[in-house]
Structure 1
Amino acid sequence: MTKNFKMVAKTLYGLEELLAQELRQLGASNIEIGTRNVSFEGDTGFMYKVNLCCRTAIKVLKPITAFNIFTEEDLYKKIYAIPWEHYMEADGSLAVDSTVYSEKFTHSQYISLKTKDAIVDRFRDKEGERPDVDLDHPTLRINVHIDRNICTVSLDSSGASLHKRGYKVENTLAPINEVLAAGIIMLTGWSGQCDFMDPMCGSGTIATEAAMIACNIPPNLNRDEFGFETWPDFDVDLYEVIENAALKKIKDFHFKIYASDKDAFALRKAKANIKSANLSEFIEVKEQDFFESKKETERSMFIVFNPPYDERLSLDDIEAFYGSIGNTLKRGYPGTQAWMITSNMEALKRVGLRPSRRIKLYNGKLESKLVRYDMYEGSKKAKKN
C-alpha cells in the first residue's frame, strides 16, 4: 500500500472553498485552505484522481523539499543537492516555474534560471550529460515557491494548466477560462436539477462545463497528457483503475442546456468545441440575439453568462448594453435565476435589478463580480406572500 503524502492544489481567487469541497468529496485528508490554493494529503492514486476529476484545480503540486535561503548561492547549492536522478533521466527535458513573495528574491524568471542551472550542472557533473529545457512538453515540470526566505520545491503532477481540458479546438476573442467557468456554475448551485442557458455563449465554454457537471463527467477526460505520465514511477495500470472508476460514475441528464449567441462565427466555434467534448446531445446551440429572446418553456431555469466588459471585446455603448440585459431578464425570463460575471462595475449599475448575491472573483487579472438576479413569476411581493 502506497503512503500518503502532502500535495498542494492551486486554484483561482474565490474558488478555494469549492476546491476544498471537491477534494473532500474525492476522499482527501488533512485539507487546509490557503489563498488561491488548498493543501491536502493522499496517495499516488489519489494524485491521479485529483488531476482527472477536480473541476476547480489549476495545478496539483507534490512538494519534495523545503529549506531556508538567504542568497542566490544558497538557492543554487540546495537545488543542486536534491537527487534529481530519482525524478528524471539525464536525457530527459525539464521546465521550471517560479513564484516569488520576497524582498530579497524579486525576479521569478531569474529564480527559474538559477534552478535550471543547478539541476543541469548536477546531471553534467554526475553523469556526463545534461537534460534539455522544453517549456511545452517537458519530462519533468518543477515548481519553485519562495515565501520570504522559505523555498519549497515541488514536482508539477499536472503539466500544462488543468484549465486546458483538451476539448477546445476553437477559441473566440475573449474566452472564459474553463476552471473559472466550472467554478462559477458550482457557485450558483446548479448541478443539473433544471434547464440551463448561456445566452452569450461565445466558444461554448460555460455550456460545455455545465454539461460535464450535470453528467458527472471527469473534466480532464479529454486531455492528451498529465505531467505525472512521464515520471519514472508512473503506474499506468493504477491510472486506468482510477479512470475506469470515474467513468462508472457518469450519469444521465434529463433537462436541456441552451447555448446561444448572435455571432454566427462564434457559434460555429462553440459547436466544434461541444462536438469535440462529445456533448452535442445535451446542448442545443442556436443563433439568437438575447435582447430579442424570451423563455420558451414553463420549467424553471438557470441563466449563467459572461457578457462583454468593454475590455477585450469593446462595445459602442456598454451602459445601454447592460441596461438591455436587465430589460430582457425582466420582460422575457420569469421563473429564472440569472447569474452573470463582469468587471465593469459602472455598466453593472445600468442593469437596473438588485442582485441578491455578489461574489468577488478574478477573470484573468480583472477584478470581477459574479452577481445573481432572481426573476420571479409575477411580482416579488406576491412571491414573498
Structure 2
Amino acid sequence: MAENFKMVAKTLFGMEDLLAEELRNLGASAIEIGVRNVSFEGDTGFMYKANLCCRTAIKILKPITGFNVFKEEDLYKKIYAIPWENYMNSKGSLAVDATVFSKYFTHSQYIALKTKDAIVDRFRDKEGVRPDVDLDHPTLRINVHIDRNICTISLDSSGQSLHKRGYKVANTLAPINEVLAAGMILKTGWSGQCDFLDPMCGGGTIVAEAAMIACNIPANLNKDEFGFETWPDFDVDLYETIEDAALKKIREFHFKIRGFDRDRISLKKAQENIAAANLSEFITLEHQDFFESAKLEEKPLFIVFNPPYDERIAIDDIEQFYGNIGNTLKRNYADTQAWMITSNLEALKYVGLRPSRKVKLFNGKLESRFVKYEIYAGSKKASKQ
C-alpha cells in the first residue's frame, strides 16, 4: 500500500475553505486550513490527482525537511546536507522560490540565491558537475519557506502555477486569474444547475471555468506539464490511471453558458481560448453591450462578472458605468443571482442595489469585494411569499 505523506496546497486569500472542501471531496486526510494554504495528507497518486483536479490550488508542495535557522551560514550548511541527488540529476536544471516571514532573513530573492548556491555546490563537490538554473522549465522546482526561525524545504509538484491551465492562448487587457475565477463561481454555489452568464466576458476565463465546473472536467486537464513529471520517481502509469478515473467523472450539462462583450477583439480572443480548452460546445459568445441586453427566458439565471475597476482599464464616467450595471440588472434581469468583483469600493455605491453578501478577495494585489445582488421577479417580499 502506498505511503501517505504531508503536502501543502497554496491558494489565494479567501479561497482556503473552498480548497479544503475540494481536497476533502478528492479523498485527502488530516486537512488543516491556514492562511492562503491548506495542509493535508495523501499518497503519490493523490498528489497527481490534486494537481489535476483542484480548481482553487495554485501549488501543491511536498515538504521534504524542516529545520531551525538563524543565520545565512546555517541555511547554507543545512541545505547543502540534503541528498539532492535523490531528487534530481546533476545534468538537470533547478529553480528556487522563497517566501520569508522572519526578522533574521528579510530578502526572499537572496534566500533563493543562497539555496541555489548550496545545491549546486553539493553537486559540484560530489560529482564534479553542477546543474543549470532554469527559471521557466526546470527539472526540479524547490520551495523555501521561512517563518521566523523555522525553515521548510519542499518540492514543488505543480511546476508552473496551477492557475496557468493551458487554455489561455490569447491574452486580453486585465485578464482575471483562472483560480480566482473558479473560486468566485464556487463561492456563488453555482455548479451547473441553471443558465449562466458573464456579461463582460473579456478573454472568456469566467465562462471557461464555469463550463469545466458544470461538466466536472478536471481543472488542469489542458496543462502541458506538471512539476512531478520530471522527478526521478514519476510513475507515468499511475498518473494515466488517475487521469482516466477523473475523465470518467465528467458529466453532461443541460443548461446554457453565455458570454457577452461589446469589444469584438476581446470576443475573438475569448473564442480562441475557449476553443483551446475544447469547451466551444458548452459556451455561446455574443457581441453584445450588457447595458442594452435583457434576460431572454423566465427561468433562474446566475450572473458572474468582472467589470472594469478604472485601474488597468479606464472608464470615462465610473459613476455612470456602475449605475448602469444596477439599472440593467434591476430592469432587465428578474429572477437572477448576480455576482461581481471589483476593487473600486467607491464605485460600488453607485450600483444602487443593496448587496446581500460581500466577500473580501484579492484580484492580484488589488483588495476587492465579491458582491451578490439578488434580483427578484416583482418585490422581494412577494418573491419570498
Report the TM-score range of the alignment, normalised by the length of the smaller protein.
Answer: over 0.9
Letter in 1 for 2:133: V
- The Cα offsets for residues 80-136 of structure 1, whole Å up to 9 and x where unpaired, read as 000000000000000000000001100000000000000000000000001000000
- Cα separation, 1, equivalents of 2:67 and 2:61: 17
Q: How has the CA–CA distance of structure 1 residues 96 and 36 changed in structure 2, closer, same or farther, with 3 Å as cutoff?
A: same
Partner of residue 208, structure 2: 208
- Compute the displacement of 1:356 (Å): 0.5
- Compute the displacement of 1:227 (Å): 0.1
Partner of residue 67, structure 1: 67
Equivalent position SS for 2:238? helix
- The Cα offsets for residues 21-46 of structure 1, whole Å up to 9 and x where unpaired, read as 00000000000000000000000000
Letter in 1 for 2:247: L
Letter in 2 for 1:201: C
- Compute the displacement of 1:244 (Å): 0.1
Equivalent position SS for 2:31? strand
Letter in 1 for 2:88: M
Partner of residue 345, structure 1: 345
Equivalent position SS for 1:326? helix
Equivalent position SS for 2:179? helix
- Compute the displacement of 1:52 (Å): 0.1
Partner of residue 313, structure 1: 313
Partner of residue 326, structure 1: 326
- Cα separation, 1, equivalents of 2:194 and 2:71: 58
Partner of residue 27, structure 2: 27
Letter in 2 for 1:266: S
Residue 204 of structure 2 is aligned to residue 195 of structure 1 = no
- Compute the displacement of 1:299 (Å): 1.7
- Compute the displacement of 1:144 (Å): 0.1
- Compute the displacement of 1:338 (Å): 0.2
- Cα separation, 2, equivalents of 1:149 and 1:306: 40
Letter in 2 for 1:82: I
Partner of residue 166, structure 1: 166
Residue 245 of structure 2 is aligned to residue 250 of structure 1 = no
- Cα separation, 1, equivalents of 2:384 and 2:47: 47
- Cα separation, 2, equivalents of 1:277 and 1:109: 35
The 4+ residue runs of structure 1 with deviation greater than 6 A are none
- Cα separation, 1, equivalents of 2:384 and 2:153: 55
Partner of residue 175, structure 1: 175
- The Cα offsets for residues 34-91 of structure 1, whole Å up to 9 and x where unpaired, read as 0000000000000000000000000000000000001100000000000000000000
- Compute the displacement of 1:384 (Å): 2.9
Q: Where in structure 1 are there 5+ consecutive unaligned residues?
A: none
- Cα separation, 2, equivalents of 1:230 and 1:62: 15
Partner of residue 365, structure 1: 365
- Cα separation, 1, equivalents of 2:260 and 2:168: 17
Matches within 5 A, 1:229-308: 229-308=229-308
- The Cα offsets for residues 289-343 of structure 1, whole Å up to 9 and x where unpaired, read as 0000000111210000000001111111111100000000001000100000000
Equivalent position SS for 2:250? coil
Partner of residue 140, structure 2: 140
Equivalent position SS for 1:274? helix
Letter in 2 for 1:83: P
Partner of residue 77, structure 1: 77
Equivalent position SS for 1:8? strand
Partner of residue 4, structure 2: 4
Equivalent position SS for 2:351? coil
Residue 219 of structure 2 is aligned to residue 219 of structure 1 = yes
- The Cα offsets for residues 158-207 of structure 1, whole Å up to 9 and x where unpaired, read as 00000000011001010000000000000000000000000000000000
Equivalent position SS for 1:234? coil
Partner of residue 380, structure 1: 380
Equivalent position SS for 1:75? helix
Letter in 1 for 2:82: I
Equivalent position SS for 1:136? coil
Equivalent position SS for 1:222? coil
Partner of residue 126, structure 1: 126
- Compute the displacement of 1:383 (Å): 1.5
Equivalent position SS for 2:339? strand
Equivalent position SS for 1:369? strand
- Cα separation, 2, equivalents of 1:282 and 1:65: 45
Letter in 2 for 1:300: P
Q: Which moved more, 1:372-381 or 1:233-242?
A: 372-381
Cα RMSD after superposing both structures: 0.5
TM-score, L = length of structure 1? 1.00
- Cα separation, 1, equivalents of 2:94 and 2:291: 50
Partner of residue 37, structure 1: 37
Letter in 1 for 2:192: G
Matches within 5 A, 1:81-120: 81-120=81-120
- Compute the displacement of 1:381 (Å): 2.2
Letter in 1 for 2:47: M
- Cα separation, 1, equivalents of 2:204 and 2:299: 23
Letter in 2 for 1:77: K
- Cα separation, 1, equivalents of 2:373 and 2:171: 29
- Cα separation, 2, equivalents of 1:270 and 1:298: 27
